[in-house]
Amino acid sequence: MNGAISVKNLKKSFNNNEVFQDFNVSVDPGKITAIFGPNGCGKSTLLNILSGIVEKDGGEFNIENFDRFNFSYIFQNYRESLLPWRTNFENVALPLEIRNKSKQKIEQKVKELQKIIGVKFEWDGYPYELSGGQQQMLAFTRALIATPKFLFIDEPFSALDYENNLHLRTQLQKYYLAFKPTILLVTHNIEEAVHLAEKIVVLSQKPAKVLEIIDNPLPYPRTLQSLKTEQFNKVKDKVLSVFQKTINL
Amino acid sequence: MKKYSIIGPILLILIWAIASWLQLVDKFFLPGPFTTIKKLAELLGSGIIIGDLLSTLERVVLSFVIAIIIGLPLGLWLGRSEKIYRSVEFIIDFFRSTPATALFPLFLLVFGITDKSKIAVAAFASMLIIIFNTAYGVMHAKKARILAAQIMGATKSQIFRWILFWESLPQTFIGLRSAISLSLVIIVVTEMFIGTTSGLGRRIIDAQITYEIPSMYAIILLTGIVGYLFNLLFIAVEKRFLHWSGK
């Protein structure tokens, strides 16, 4: 299975607080998979363990054909990681500079990506001149510039207003349809999950377990119109029913 | 905002003029501002003080450059590892808190009664300030930026060159500004000691000994102006190159 992520018997606890105890999950290659679950159930921890930021306590995981140059991780408040002394262009170019690409190659890459996801920036300007939404978009573009095969996204839209949020979802889909990466999307927003993902993994309270993996057959690209369809609401209801079992209201 | 910055100097001269006019202090010990400014113009116009001014400037700039050459790389290196910095923190803070001029006799013993000892003691004190500020700049770099670069696969050296160095710059500049002021202070004070025939400090002492009080105040005023101009220079450089600071 090329590009698949599999997690087996994963164990992790913070100060005797068990987040994962024999946690198992498998993610299909070339698909958008959303991880949805109650607050503090370990969604972000899962991404942090998979990307090597946080050590696991036990168990194992495997990401097929993974190396540090074919993956991107967009975390919450990702825009804070923009470098204010670099122009917008130089910020987007950073991942390619790290890979020692020539200036010519970088410019070509930026043009290509710009064409695909359709974003425009004042390239000679600086990030601090942009609005919060645009900054997140810039950071997003930077994460995609090296065309990663694996994309881990942790609540990328949570700090955005609804319009920018929809805008970013559209860009992400364009990238996805062009390159078919394996995308793991952590979110606490049902609409986001159903809008973007082909599979929605619903987690329980900690120690987290997979309650159910829900298929979402809505065709891509999913537009605003897709959000109003019966099929969309059906999937959303299903996710909600599974989610309901794990929360106390 | 700029027009408000003129209020400070006007206020200072006004208070000085009133104090002098009301003869709150004996006129012999505190001449009025206009007498002093006139005296300063005279000293500058006749060129008598220019050689001393240049001597002092040369010593200040030299000590400052030495402080940068040693302090900047050292601060960057120490800041990279909090453990290393903490292990030498005592030494830096101890000497930073010790009046540098108190160490001057020691420098005189090592470097002799020459310009070298003045420059060395000023460079030493300024260097500590530069090390301290630069290291703190590096240590307080935004974690999100470093993490993002690590995830992108950046090497330690890339993170240092592209992130930590830049992150440290605003704090480094605060250090540089304090350092050049301190250099000026120490150079002028050490010029008042032995082994100098030129320099603003020397002239201040000479004027005091010979009771040329207006000259003494004129040169003190000149020293203040020099310090202030250094400050302005740094603010201008900072505005130009660190436009992104704090954003």
Digit-coded pLDDT (tens) for B162-195:
999 999 999 999 999 999 999 999 999 999 987 7
Burial of residue B160, with CB atoms counted within 10 A of its CB: 0-12 exposed, 13-18 middle, 19 or more buried: middle
Domains delineated in chain A = 1-70+150-249 (3.40.50.300), 79-147 (no CATH)
Looking at residue B1, what is its pLDDT? 60
Q: Could you tell me if residue B149 is inside a domain?
A: yes
Domain contains B95? yes
Q: Is the model more confident about A4 or about B160?
A: B160
pLDDT in the model for residue A2? 41
B119 belongs to a structural domain: yes
Partner B contacted by A78 (CB < 8 A): yes
Establish if B185 belongs to a structural domain: yes
Domain ranges, residue B141: 47-241
How confident is the model at residue B66, as a pLDDT? 98
Q: For position A78, what pLDDT does the model report?
A: 74
pLDDT at A84: 94
**Per-residue model confidence (pLDDT) at position B49:** 92
> What's the complex ipTM?
0.83
Let me know if residue B139 belongs to a domain: yes
End-to-end Cα separation, chain B, in angstroms: 21
Number of domains observed in the structure of chain B? 1
Pick the closest to residue A126 from A77, A90, A98 (CA basis): A90
Please say if the pLDDT value at position B4 is more than 70: yes
**Residue B116 is assigned to a structural domain of this protein:** yes
Could you tell me what percent of chain B has a pLDDT over 90? 66
| Over residues A11-18, mean pLDDT | 88
Widest Cα–Cα separation across chain A = 57
* Record: contact A72-B149, CB cut-off 8 A: no
Instruction: Specify the CATH number for the domain of residue B148.
Output: 1.10.3720.10
What is the C-alpha to C-alpha distance for residues A226 and A220, in angstroms, rounded to an integer?
9
- Going by pLDDT thresholds of 50, 70 and 90, the confidence category of residue A153 is very high
Residue A82 tokens read as: 């923009």
Chain B residues lying within 8 Å of A99, measured CB to CB: 153
On whether residue B3 sits in a domain, the answer given is no
B149 touches chain A (CB under 8 A): yes
How do residues A172-217 score in pLDDT, each as one tens digit?
999 999 999 999 999 988 999 999 999 999 998 888 889 999 999 9
Query: What was the pLDDT predicted at A82?
Result: 92
Rg for chain B, CA atoms, rounded: 22
Residue count of chain B, please give it: 247
169-228 in B: which are within 8 Å (CB) of A?
A: 169
Q: Give pLDDT tens digits for B41-65.
A: 999 999 889 999 999 999 999 999 9
End-to-end alpha-carbon separation of chain A, Å? Answer: 40
Q: Does B69 map to a domain?
A: yes
The answer to whether residue B154 neighbours chain A at the CB level (below 8 Å) is yes
Share of chain A above pLDDT 90, in %: 47
CB contact A98 to B (< 8 Å)? yes
- Which positions 180-219 of A are in contact with B (Cβ < 8 Å)? none
| pLDDT tens digit sequence for A223-236 | 999 999 999 999 99
What amino acid occupies position B159? I
What pLDDT is recorded for position A234? 94
Average pLDDT, chain B: 91
Contact list in B for residue A128 (CB cut-off 8 A) is 244, 247
